[in-house]
Structure 1
Amino acid sequence: MKILLVKLSSLGDVVHALPVVQDIAAALPGAQIDWVVEKSFAPLLARCAGVHRVIPCRIRHWRKSPLAAVTRGEWTAFKALLRQQSYDAVIDLQGLTKSALVARLARLAPGGKRYALANQTDGSGYEAPTRWVADVAIEIAPRTGAVQRSRELAARALGYTPLPAPDFGLKRPPAQAERAQSATEKIASNTVALVHGTSRADKEWPLAHWVALGQRLIAAGYPVALAHGSAKELATSQAIAQALGAARATVWPLLTLDALTDQLAHCAGVIGVDSGVSHIAVALDLPHVQIYNFDTAWRTGPDPRTQSRQVSVFAQPTPSVDAVWQAWLGCSTGLVQPVAAR
């Protein structure tokens, strides 16, 4: 059976959909699973066990200059690549107009069908064309978490029962890990990465909180590493590192998504705000605390019923340093409990 998954962006959304691959592989041995995704996220899918072919696109870029000659050329090449294979099932996991367009362009095998969401779930994006394009539109309960939404949609489309717990498929063999780490500075195995960067300012945690948390980690014997993906995030990482002292706090260089994933995989754990990089930490099954200023952890955060080494901390206007620290102690000792500091 040949299956095409369509989940184009963003980074966190792509990570949330990864367990679909392992669910399908377990239920339908021998199935060929291809995936269409934004080119910038393709390296993550390339390392996901069970993905046969990653089909990159640049829809975010193309829509900025849709009539440009280079856009037309790249779009034509993408369509040709997409249609090289015919599929028994095309599953639009995203539910947007752009993903519906990709699903419509994909070629079906005789008897093949397109599947998509029939409705919007709480807190998610949804646009009607995904339902219009589908041969079968599947309704999902409104209050369904992001990981569960994709897993349930695919399972109901293909007629199987998902695995008991989500498996993101990002585990790597030791040899690959050594090759990957040789490309960047080797880090101590007890390093804790702090992920402060996010695309939304209202998801950020105060700089003073990061410094205070870093001081607690260093006092407990954990070196601290700081990642960044922009000039603004670099400035924040440098400010935190300067306050903590260069001997125990390291600012990583700007890393590709693949290299950043490798570096995180070598850490003892990660503490971060609600962001794509934090969701990668969950996918790597690292001890992880995810910080929320909004009561949305139920939708995008780790599920305490099935994920034993991660926890979300929520409070308004923002969680305290002590709440995050206590959550980290639980993660690092395996005594994880959901935390809501109000």
Structure 2
Amino acid sequence: MKILLVKLSSLGDVVHALPVVQDILAALPGAHIDWVVEKSFTPVVALHPGVRRIIPCEIRRWRKSPLSAVTRQQWNAFKADLQQTDYDAVIDLQGLTKSAVVARLARLAPGGKRYALGNQTDGSGYEAPTRWVADVAISITPHIHAVQRSRELAAAALGYTLPSSLDFGLNQPDAHAGRAQAAIENIAIKKRVAFVHGTSRADKEWPLAHWTALGQRLNAVGWQIALPAGSAKEQATSQKIADALNASDGTHAIVWPLLPLDALTHELAQCGGVIGVDSGVSHIAVALDLPHVQLYNFDTAWRTGPDASSGRQVSVFAQPAPTVDAVWNAWLGCLEASNAGPALQTDGRAA
């Protein structure tokens, strides 16, 4: 069976859709799964060994100059790439006009169908064309986590029962995912915590002074801080945090260079854990099953946050922002649940 998944953006949304691939392969082991995604996010999808072919697009960029010769040429090349295969099922996991257009352009095999969301879910974007284009529009429970929404849509479209376990597929051994897999096998060998402070929205940020104070506590019990960034602006913030932490003797923080997403995933996988704001990179940490604390200034963790049932990954919400104490205690809880942390005395110092 040939299946096309349409999930174009953003990074966090793409990561949230990864379990769909594992679910389909568990139910239909011989399935051939292709995925249409924005070009900038292809490195993350490429880490999943269950995706046979990635079809990149650049709709975000093309919309800025839709009538230019370059856009027309690239759009036609994208359509030709998309239409190489006749699909038995095209599943629009996004629910937006742009994803509906892609789903409509895809070619169906005889008897093939297009599936899409039949309704908006709480806190998520939705546009009517996704329903109009679909052969089958599937209604989903409105109050639902982003991961579960995609999983339920695909299960209903293809007629299988969802497995009870959740698997993002990034831990599967395969040459296709070689670099990340090699790193995953070394999780928690290094006492290094990644601080994911960067986000596309300023109102999701955590105060700089909080990052510094938390870093000092971690340094005091033997953890080094790694500071990734997705832009020059974020890298400058990383440097400010590092400078504050490195003011005393020794290297307590390192600033990573700007990295492509596959290399960034590789580096994250070598860390002992991640503390970060609600962002795509934090969601990668969840997919890697790292000990993780995710910070929320809005009460939306129910929709995008990690599953806290294991205790290894939790969200912390407060307004205007979580306190350093709250994040510190959540981190200690994650370490206890994963048996990854250094022994602590009651005063918080390393035993």
Q: TM-score range by the shorter chain?
A: over 0.9
- Alpha-carbon distance between aligned partners in 1 of 2:180 and 2:31, rounded to the nearest angstrom: 30
Aligned counterpart in structure 2 of residue 294 of structure 1, from 293, 298, 304? 298
Gaps of 5+ in 2: 340-351
Letter in 2 for 1:295: D
Q: Could you say which residue in structure 2 is the equivalent of 1:230?
A: 231
Q: Could you say which residue in structure 1 is the equivalent of 2:330?
A: 327
- Alpha-carbon distance between aligned partners in 1 of 2:216 and 2:76, rounded to the nearest angstrom: 53
Asked if structure 2 preserves the Cα contact closer than 8 Å seen for 1:180 and 1:259, the reply is: no
- After superposition, residues 1-342 of structure 1 pair within 5 angstroms as 1-171=1-171, 173=173, 176-177=178-179, 189-245=190-246, 247-305=251-309, 308-334=311-337
- Alpha-carbon distance between aligned partners in 2 of 1:178 and 1:152, rounded to the nearest angstrom: 28
Gaps of 5+ in 1: 182-186, 337-342
- Alpha-carbon distance between aligned partners in 2 of 1:253 and 1:21, rounded to the nearest angstrom: 31
Identity of aligned residues (%): 75
Asked if structure 1 preserves the Cα contact closer than 8 Å seen for 2:311 and 2:333, the reply is: no
Letter in 2 for 1:167: D
- Post-superposition CA distance 1:209-244 (Å, at most 9, x none): 000000011111111000111122111101100000
- Alpha-carbon distance between aligned partners in 2 of 1:188 and 1:259, rounded to the nearest angstrom: 18
TM-score (norm 1): 0.93
Kindly report the root-mean-square deviation, in angstroms, between the aligned alpha carbons of the 2 structures.
Answer: 1.8
- Alpha-carbon distance between aligned partners in 1 of 2:147 and 2:62, rounded to the nearest angstrom: 28
SS at match of 1:199: coil
- Alpha-carbon distance between aligned partners in 1 of 2:312 and 2:62, rounded to the nearest angstrom: 39
Asked if structure 2 preserves the Cα contact closer than 8 Å seen for 1:313 and 1:323, the reply is: yes
Deviates more, 1:111-120 or 1:296-305: 296-305
- Alpha-carbon distance between aligned partners in 2 of 1:285 and 1:24, rounded to the nearest angstrom: 20
SS at match of 1:124: coil
Letter in 2 for 1:90: V
Structure 1 residue 304 displacement after superposition: 2.1
Distance 1:179 1:141, change over 3 A: closer
Asked if structure 1 preserves the Cα contact closer than 8 Å seen for 2:198 and 2:230, the reply is: yes
Distance 1:106 1:126, change over 3 A: same
- Post-superposition CA distance 1:65-119 (Å, at most 9, x none): 1111111111111000100000000000000000000000000000000000011
- Alpha-carbon distance between aligned partners in 2 of 1:93 and 1:75, rounded to the nearest angstrom: 21
Letter in 1 for 2:179: A
Letter in 2 for 1:265: A
- Alpha-carbon distance between aligned partners in 2 of 1:268 and 1:52, rounded to the nearest angstrom: 31
Asked if structure 2 preserves the Cα contact closer than 8 Å seen for 1:293 and 1:318, the reply is: yes
- Alpha-carbon distance between aligned partners in 2 of 1:334 and 1:100, rounded to the nearest angstrom: 42
Structure 1 residue 189 displacement after superposition: 1.5
- Post-superposition CA distance 1:139-196 (Å, at most 9, x none): 1111001000000000011011122122111126498338987xxxxx9711100000
Structure 1 residue 309 displacement after superposition: 1.8
Asked if structure 2 preserves the Cα contact closer than 8 Å seen for 1:188 and 1:223, the reply is: no
